[in-house]
Amino acid sequence: MLRRFMFATGIENSAPLINNGRRRIDELEKCGHYTWWQKDIDLVKEMDIQVLRYGPPLHTTFCGAGKFDWEFADTVLRYIRQQQIIPIIDLCHFGVPDFIGDFQNPDFPMLFAQYATAFAKRYPWVQLYTPVNEMYICALFSAYYGWWNEQLTTDKSFVTALKHIVKANVLAMEAILAIRPDAIFIQSESSEYFHAENPRAIKPAELMNARRFLSLDLNYGKRLESEMYEYLMDNGMTKEEYHFFLDNQLKRHCIMGNDYYVTNEHRVSEDGATRASGEIFGYHVITSQYYERYKLPVMHTETNLREGPCGDEAVKWLWKEWANVMRVRNDGLPILGFTWYSLTDQVDWDTALREENNRVNPLGLYDLNRNIRAVGTAYKELIKEWTEVLPTQSVCLNVPVVSPGNNRITCESNKRARKDEDNQQDTKTLLQAGKKDI
């Protein structure tokens, strides 16, 4: 039976470039998924998890303008569909193909939309998407911290990356909707907060707390406050680019995905330097801030914690995050799902992938030998215990998610897509009219 509340996990598919573009950190490779892909999908099924955040490797699938290699994606997605697992397709996760270069490339948005179109046509049964994962973090780490891809460190390079990334996300949503009009987009985005450590740090902390919203503000077509508008204009965004985001609102097709880790809160000093503060507000408080800003249904799309020396650290964090999700739900916010990310342990995330040490990080439901961890057992029990409770008592929205094996739905989607292609102008007119309701 298809659950209304989406218990999920994900298969880590980050693929940024480091060392000035000389080395790609491909987490699918480092975590053994290319070898163990069938076992990984079987483990998702074994956990009784119905929803999987999954993305084929963009850097090897998208080979050039109009050129694609679908062999690996075909194989794995066919099996995912056979197992009746609902994928949330992650099209871009921190890296782009070599022929694109990096996020400073102004051609990236249009090329990415081309990829999204090709993907949606090839897999019309896919309904849920995260076109670009963690847009804010992707721009921050690539073009402000200087860790990945272009490895730049200025406000201008950050704004350039951000506007290209969010435009790519918007164009991809438009492209997918032209093929699958009932597509739903789950923006997996890092939910951040910056704490001032003294009165003199209030101003830089306020700026950072405004900047954390930029990716979703642009994506959802929200008019910016004057300070962030000036910040974007001062660092290379044009009025025409800004109005692109105001004029292409697809908010009504979206679920706001909030990622939360113990590293998501920061302590800010008066000179603007930041360091980790650890959990202070927590998921409930910060997600409530994001909800108040966007008024969208919510999904908890990522969390994890390292299994430490006691062996129960990750289990305690799982239950703590779940308690936060229940608090969000009981406060009346429409929260639709929860995700432990990822299925297996990861590699080198202890240095945010900016160093290649090949160090295994014990963050998964399973280790890299595909043996279940304590948190995997606990998550399986959590799903079992709460599955029957949430549908009858939840205030969550009933998201119109259909089974990936529903051939009738797929056929109807294909018919709608063909009809949509014949009525593009009418569709645009309706979309413009619909903006009045947002």
pLDDT tens per residue across span 187-234: 999 999 999 999 999 999 999 999 999 999 999 999 999 999 999 999
Identify the band that residue 3 occupies on the pLDDT scale cut at 50, 70 and 90.
confident
Report helix, strand or coil for 437.
helix
Q: How many CA atoms lie within 13 A of 217 on its CB side?
A: 16
Nearest to 54 by CA among 64, 65, 63, 43: 43
Residue 418's pLDDT is what?
47
Contact, 26 vs 360, CB < 8 A? no
The residue segments making up the domain with residue 172 are: 6-190+211-262+276-437
Residues 6+ apart with CB under 8 A from 346: 12, 27, 30, 31, 360, 361, 363, 364
Residue 190's pLDDT is what?
97
Could you write out the DSSP letters of every residue in 247-285? H---GGGEEEEEE--TTSEEEE-TTS-EEE--SSSHHHH
Q: Report the 10 Å Cβ neighbour count for 424.
A: 10
Contact, 5 vs 49, CB < 8 A? no
How many domains are contained in the chain? 1
> HEC profile for 298-342?
EEEEECCCCCCCCCCHHHHHHHHHHHHHHHHHHCCCCEEEEEEEC
With 60 as the cut, is the pLDDT of residue 419 above it?
Answer: no
Instruction: Give the tens place of pLDDT for each residue, 258-307.
Output: 999 999 999 999 999 999 999 999 999 999 999 999 999 999 999 999 99
Instruction: Give the tens place of pLDDT for each residue, 332-342.
Output: 999 999 999 99
Contact, 338 vs 8, CB < 8 A? yes
The C-alpha atoms of residue 116 and residue 88 are separated, in whole angstroms, by 14
Question: For residue 206, is it within any domain?
Answer: no
Question: For residue 115, is it within any domain?
Answer: yes
With 50 as the cut, is the pLDDT of residue 421 above it?
Answer: no
Identify the band that residue 438 occupies on the pLDDT scale cut at 50, 70 and 90.
very low
With 70 as the cut, is the pLDDT of residue 394 above it?
Answer: no
Burial label, 248 (beta-carbon count in 10 A; 0-12, 13-18, 19+): middle
Q: Is the peptide bond before 342 cis (omega within 30 degrees of 0)?
A: yes
With 50 as the cut, is the pLDDT of residue 395 above it?
Answer: no
Identify the band that residue 4 occupies on the pLDDT scale cut at 50, 70 and 90.
confident
Rg of the chain over Cα atoms, rounded to whole angstroms, equals 21
Mean pLDDT over 138-150 rounds to: 98
**Mean pLDDT over each residue of the chain, to the nearest integer:** 92
Identify the band that residue 427 occupies on the pLDDT scale cut at 50, 70 and 90.
very low
Mean pLDDT over 18-27 rounds to: 97
With 80 as the cut, is the pLDDT of residue 397 above it?
Answer: no
Instruction: Give the tens place of pLDDT for each residue, 235-264.
Output: 999 999 999 999 998 999 999 999 999 999
Residue 189: which H helix or E strand, with range? strand 184-190
Question: For residue 240, is it within any domain?
Answer: yes
Question: For residue 197, is it within any domain?
Answer: no
**Given the structure tokens 């507000």, which residue do they identify?**
281
The C-alpha atoms of residue 283 and residue 321 are separated, in whole angstroms, by 7
CA-based end-to-end distance of the chain: 33
Question: For residue 199, is it within any domain?
Answer: no
Mean pLDDT over 407-431 rounds to: 47
Nearest to 171 by CA among 60, 245, 66: 245
CATH code of the domain in which 357 resides: 3.20.20.80
Distance set, CA 197 to CA 46, 201, 278 (Å): 46, 6, 13
